[in-house]
Amino acid sequence: MKNFSEHTKAVFAAMETTYDEMNNLMQDVALGREIYDAESDRKISKAEANAKILDFSRKVLGIEDIKNATEVRRAIRDNGRQWFDIIEDTVNVAVAVGLQENDWFNELVDRKTIGYHDRQDFYVENEAILSVAKAGTSHHDHVLQRLGVGQPISIPTELHVVKVGADINKYIAGQVDWSKLIDAITTAYIADIQKDVYSQVAVAVNQLPATFKGTGALNKANFDNIIENVSLANNGAEVILMATRAGVNAINGIQTVQYIADFQKDNHANSGSIGIYEGNRIVVIPNRFTDNTMTSKIFADQIMMIPVIGDAGKFIKYVEEGDIMISEIMDRDSKYTSDLQTYEVQRRYGTGVVLGRKFGAWTL
C-alpha cells in the first residue's frame, strides 16, 4: 500500500474500494480487457468502468466544480501527486505490454529492468564493439570501445522526459476516456524509446561490412545475397526481414508472382504485406513521426535482415532503471505561464549496441 494522505484514504473508504481494486480496474480498462464483477455476477461495461475511474480521479484530486478552471488547477497542484502515484502503475504496465507486443523491439532488443542504483550486466560471449548512447536534450554522443571475449558490460542510464501536454486536463474534464489518456502517455513514451533505440541501430548499420549492406532501389540478386551472408555468418540461422512500410512494398515488388502462395496473397490484401519472402518471415516496423510537426519519422525507410539466435543475437542492449514517474511542470517561464498545465513522464533508461553478430541492412 502506498503512503497515501488521509484525504486519499477517505476517498477509498467512501467509494468502498481499495488501491488494489482500483489499480486492477484502471489496468483492465487501459489494456482493453473484459471486466467481470464476481460480486454482482456480471460483466462491467467499458462506459461504467470509465465513469467509476473518472469519479474516483476527481475525488482524489478534490475537484467539485469541473468547470471552474481555477479550482481544477489548484486541485491538481495540491493533490496531483497522490493521483499520479496511483496512475503511474497503470502507465508502467501499459508501456511494458506495448513493448512486449512489438515484434521489432522483441527481435532486436535485449531488455533489462533494474531498481534505482542497481547494476545489471549484459554478458558478451564473443569479441565485439560496444557503442553507448548518452542522451542530451536534442542529441546523442556515442562512445565506442572494443570488448574482449566473455566480458560483462553495464549500460549507464540517463533521465528521459516526455511531455504529455493537456491530455490529463482533457481527461479530468471528461473530454477523453481513461484508455485514451493512458494510450496518449504510453505512446509518447514508447516513441521516445524507439527513437533512442533507432539511433543505436543507425550506429550499428554504419559499422557493418559492405557485404551486409545495400542502398538505393531494391535489387533482388544483391538482396538475396545479403540474406544468405547473414545466415552464413550466424551458423545457418533463420533470418527475419524487418522493414518499414516502404521497405515492405519494395520486398513485395521483387517477389516472383507465380511463386506466391494463396495465403500470401490474402496477407497482402489484408495488411499490405505478403508476410514471407522466400521462406524468410517479414515483420513490419511500426513507424511514427518524431514529434507533432510531422516532418520527420523515427525510422528511415529501411529493410533489416536479423538472424534468429536468441538474446545473444539481440545487438541492442536496453536497461530501465526504476519506474515511470509523472509530474506537473511547476517552474514555467513567466512569459508563457497560462491556465494550461503541462506534465512530464520521466524515467531513467539507457541503450547500447554490441556489434558482435552480423546482420544485414538495406537503406532505400
pLDDT (tens digit, 9 = 90+) per residue, 5-29?
999 999 999 999 999 999 999 999 9
Is pLDDT larger for residue 5 or for residue 196? 5
Average pLDDT over residues 335-352: 70
The pLDDT tens digits for 251-282 are 888 875 544 555 444 554 444 455 788 888 88
Average pLDDT over residues 344-348: 85
Residue 149 forms part of a structural domain? yes
Residue 1 forms part of a structural domain? no
Residue 106 forms part of a structural domain? no
213 plus 301 within the same structural domain: yes
Among 67, 99, 131, the domain-final residue is 99
199 plus 144 within the same structural domain: yes
d(CA 214, CA 211): 8
70 plus 139 within the same structural domain: no
215 plus 304 within the same structural domain: yes
Residue 105 forms part of a structural domain? no
d(CA 82, CA 97): 24
Is pLDDT larger for residue 132 or for residue 354? 354
Do 313 and 234 form a contact (C-beta atoms < 8 A)?
A: yes
115 plus 235 within the same structural domain: yes
225 plus 86 within the same structural domain: no
Q: What is the pLDDT of residue 258?
A: 45
* Percent share of the chain, pLDDT over 70: 79
Is pLDDT larger for residue 124 or for residue 327? 327
133 plus 171 within the same structural domain: yes
The pLDDT tens digits for 54-106 are 999 999 999 988 888 888 888 888 888 899 889 898 998 998 888 888 777 87
216 plus 95 within the same structural domain: no
Hey, what amino acid is at 11?
V
Average pLDDT over residues 150-154: 68
The answer to whether the predicted template modeling score (pTM) of the entire model surpasses 0.85 is no
Among 99, 126, 154, the domain-final residue is 99
* Percent share of the chain, pLDDT over 90: 22
Do 15 and 60 form a contact (C-beta atoms < 8 A)?
A: no
Do 133 and 196 form a contact (C-beta atoms < 8 A)?
A: yes
Count: domains in the chain: 2
Burial of 156 (0-12, 13-18, 19+ CB in 10 A): middle
Please give the DSSP secondary-structure letter assigned to residue 38: T
Rounded to whole angstroms, the maximal C-alpha distance in the chain is 71
226 plus 340 within the same structural domain: yes
d(CA 358, CA 288): 27
Residue 177 forms part of a structural domain? yes
Average pLDDT over residues 122-145: 53
d(CA 33, CA 41): 17
190 plus 316 within the same structural domain: yes
Choose the weakest-confidence range: 56-60, 150-154, 214-218, 270-274. Answer: 270-274
Q: What is the pLDDT of residue 148?
A: 55
Helix or strand (DSSP H, E) at 243 = strand 239-243
The pLDDT tens digits for 27-38 are 999 999 998 887
CATH code, domain with 223:
3.90.1690
Choose the weakest-confidence range: 102-116, 228-242, 290-304, 328-342. Answer: 328-342
Residue 90 forms part of a structural domain? yes
Do 231 and 238 form a contact (C-beta atoms < 8 A)?
A: yes
Hey, what amino acid is at 169?
N
**Domain span at 64:** 6-99
CB atoms within 10 A of CB 110: 18
348 plus 219 within the same structural domain: yes
Residue 238 forms part of a structural domain? yes
315 plus 191 within the same structural domain: yes
Highest mean pLDDT among 107-111, 115-119, 219-223, 294-298: 219-223
Query: Band of the pLDDT at 329, cuts 50, 70, 90?
Result: confident
Do 351 and 318 form a contact (C-beta atoms < 8 A)?
A: yes
Do 177 and 50 form a contact (C-beta atoms < 8 A)?
A: yes
CB contact set of 3 (below 8 Å; sequence gap of 6+): none
Residue 104 forms part of a structural domain? no
Q: What is the pLDDT of residue 242?
A: 86
* Chain length of the chain: 364
Among 43, 76, 99, the domain-final residue is 99
Burial of 310 (0-12, 13-18, 19+ CB in 10 A): exposed
